[in-house]
Amino acid sequence: MNKNEKIHIYFSTTVILVISLIIVSLLLCVIFYMRFSRSSRAEIRYMAGVFYNAGAETLRDFFNGAGVFNENGEMTGEESFLDELRIVLIAPDGSIAFDSLASVMQNASKETPQSNHNDREEVIKARENGFGESKRFSQTLGKETWYYAVLRPDGMVLRVSKTNISVFFILFRILPVALCVVFVFLIISYAHLSHIWRMEKLRREFSANVSHELATPLTSIYGYAELLESGMAQKADKSIFIKKIKDETSRLITLIKDIMLLSQMDEGKTEEPFETVDAAAVAAEVIESLSAKAVKHDVSVSLQGSGVLILARKSMITELFHNLIDNAIKYNKPNGSVKVEISENGGSAVICVCDTGIGIPQEAQERVFERFYRADKSRSRKTGGTGLGLAIVKHIVMLHRGKIKLDSREDEGSRITVILKKQ
């Protein structure tokens, strides 16, 4: 499956997700609306029964003094949920004898504004059937009001109403939030998928590079062995071919070792515990082990700093120093030098490996920490480099939650700085 197919699947899934989310939002809004509407209708019917026997003056006293009624129409106590209701008493001629909204907003002694309410749907039904109900929607407010009217024996109609948020208003409030959630999900999922695609690409490149890097020394070994076996090699050349086989085998062993180390770090299979490590002591051991190579390349190696303790996996720190110092020696100039500086900066240990070598071109500096990348391929092969040294260093630094920085100039040298947490 190529990247275009994966992107197509991703966006198809995204479209299905968005549509599904909209449908679910609609269903939730409808369910919520139906339950809330049913509850509101039951409430106004109940309150119509409560206020059924109350007269206009009693209602005014009630809404200005706050209280509720018993079955005989007598006030008994306070009830806060009445704030959401509107109680209207409509006279036989359609005028308003009482309006709880006007009573609350105006002084009780003032006259309530008059209008004819006999033409309202719920009032017409109440006068015909004894009770009636209706619903009206306000586009301006995005709300709907439920009305329940009941005809009283005195010819007056008691109407109770309650205003709710409409299903469309609920949808318009929920949908933007839902779309924002989808948008955030898309960004996160795309970033995650991009990371997966990038890792797959790196794995493919790594596999291809491994195959190539293994094939090169194996081909040489096979060729020299074939010459020796056939008897075509001159006696004077046999020792040369044997040395070539030995060198290529050594390179192959080093390559396999580096690949296995990277694989273990990738999979988190390193079981070595963290311990207190003296960075300068480890560096001194590595410098001693590479002293013969330094003499061979006519490079001097010095160490500055001591007593800097870090919490780390010792074998990995040894590998880090080995790769950095080994590279600094191999890619140096005759009569060159390598300086290993270890110091403290606040709560961090700072490790610097400086050399006077050939340096790294500016355009290659961003890639030198990639696996199998070589700034100078011909020289790297001659010196026995696998192209994995700096990749291993970077991985070790990452596993120790540190930082690594490269400063280099062609023909002047390089400086690699590693910052790790102290103990």
3-state SS of 23-92? HHHHHHHHHHHHHHHHHHHHHHHHHHHHCCCCCHHHHHHHHHHCCCECCCCCECCCCHHHHHEEEEEECC
169-207, pLDDT tens digit by residue?
666 666 677 777 777 877 777 777 777 777 677 677 666
Segment 117-126 mean pLDDT: 90
Amino acid at 144: E
Does position 81 have pLDDT exceeding 70, yes or no?
Answer: no
On whether both 78 and 215 belong to a single domain, the answer is no
pLDDT at site 162: 87
Give how many domains the chain has, as a whole number. Answer: 3
CA distance 136 to 114: 21
Taking residue 234's Cβ as centre, other Cβ atoms within 10 Å add up to: 9
Question: CATH number, domain at 252?
Answer: 1.10.287.130
16 falls within a domain? yes
pLDDT at site 294: 92
pLDDT-derived band at 415 (thresholds 50, 70, 90) equals very high
Which residues contact residue 103 at a Cβ distance below 8 angstroms, ignoring those fewer than 6 apart?
59, 60, 63, 64, 112
Which residue blocks in 279-417 are alpha helix, DSSP H? 279-289, 291-296, 314-330, 377-382, 389-399
pLDDT above 70 covers a percentage of the chain that reads 78
Q: Three-class SS of residue 271?
A: coil
Does position 417 have pLDDT exceeding 90, yes or no?
Answer: yes
Does position 146 have pLDDT exceeding 60, yes or no?
Answer: yes
On whether both 232 and 361 belong to a single domain, the answer is no
Segment 154-164 mean pLDDT: 88
On whether both 65 and 141 belong to a single domain, the answer is yes
On whether both 99 and 24 belong to a single domain, the answer is yes
pLDDT at site 49: 87
Which residues contact residue 208 at a Cβ distance below 8 angstroms, ignoring those fewer than 6 apart?
none
Segment 257-281 mean pLDDT: 78
Q: Flag the least confident range among 37-46, 236-245, 378-387.
A: 378-387
Average pLDDT, the chain: 79
366 falls within a domain? yes
Which residues span the domain enclosing 205? 198-266
Which residues contact residue 278 at a Cβ distance below 8 angstroms, ignoring those fewer than 6 apart?
307, 308, 309
Q: Say if strands 143-151 and 131-138 run parallel, antiparallel, or are unpaired.
A: antiparallel
On whether both 242 and 374 belong to a single domain, the answer is no
407 falls within a domain? yes
Domain closes at, from 247, 266, 285: 266
Does position 263 have pLDDT exceeding 70, yes or no?
Answer: yes
Sheet holding 157-165, edge to edge: 96-99, 85-90, 157-165, 143-151, 131-138
pLDDT-derived band at 384 (thresholds 50, 70, 90) equals low
On whether both 354 and 407 belong to a single domain, the answer is yes
192 falls within a domain? no
237-250, pLDDT tens digit by residue?
888 888 888 878 87
pLDDT-derived band at 214 (thresholds 50, 70, 90) equals confident
On whether both 34 and 134 belong to a single domain, the answer is yes
pLDDT-derived band at 2 (thresholds 50, 70, 90) equals low
Given a contact cutoff of 8 angstroms between Cβ atoms, the answer to whether 327 and 388 are in contact is no
Question: CATH number, domain at 51?
Answer: 3.30.450.20
Task: List phi, psi (to 5°) of 420.
Answer: -125, 160
Segment 269-293 mean pLDDT: 87
185 falls within a domain? no
On whether both 158 and 231 belong to a single domain, the answer is no
Q: Say if strands 336-345 and 348-355 run parallel, antiparallel, or are unpaired.
A: antiparallel
Q: Three-class SS of residue 146?
A: strand
- Residue 113 CA: distances (Å) to CA of 105, 116, 275, 372: 12, 10, 86, 89
Give the chain's length.
Answer: 423
pLDDT-derived band at 97 (thresholds 50, 70, 90) equals confident
Q: Choose among 282, 267, 300: nearest CA to 418.
A: 282
pLDDT at site 58: 79
Question: CATH number, domain at 302?
Answer: 3.30.565.10
On whether both 135 and 255 belong to a single domain, the answer is no
187 falls within a domain? no
Domain closes at, from 242, 266, 290: 266
CA distance 255 to 75: 94
Q: Flag the least confident range among 30-39, 92-101, 266-275, 291-300.
A: 266-275
Does position 151 have pLDDT exceeding 70, yes or no?
Answer: yes
On whether both 115 and 243 belong to a single domain, the answer is no
104 falls within a domain? yes
On whether both 128 and 245 belong to a single domain, the answer is no
Amino acid at 65: G
Given a contact cutoff of 8 angstroms between Cβ atoms, the answer to whether 170 and 32 are in contact is yes
Q: Choose among 360, 373, 346: nearest CA to 405.
A: 360
226 falls within a domain? yes
Concatenated DSSP letters of 207-245? HHHHHHHHHHHHHHHHHHHHHHHHT-S-HHHHHHHHHHH
Segment 326-334 mean pLDDT: 91
On whether both 218 and 306 belong to a single domain, the answer is no
Domain closes at, from 145, 165, 185: 165
Segment 88-112 mean pLDDT: 68
Which residues contact residue 248 at a Cβ distance below 8 angstroms, ignoring those fewer than 6 apart?
217, 218, 220, 221, 224
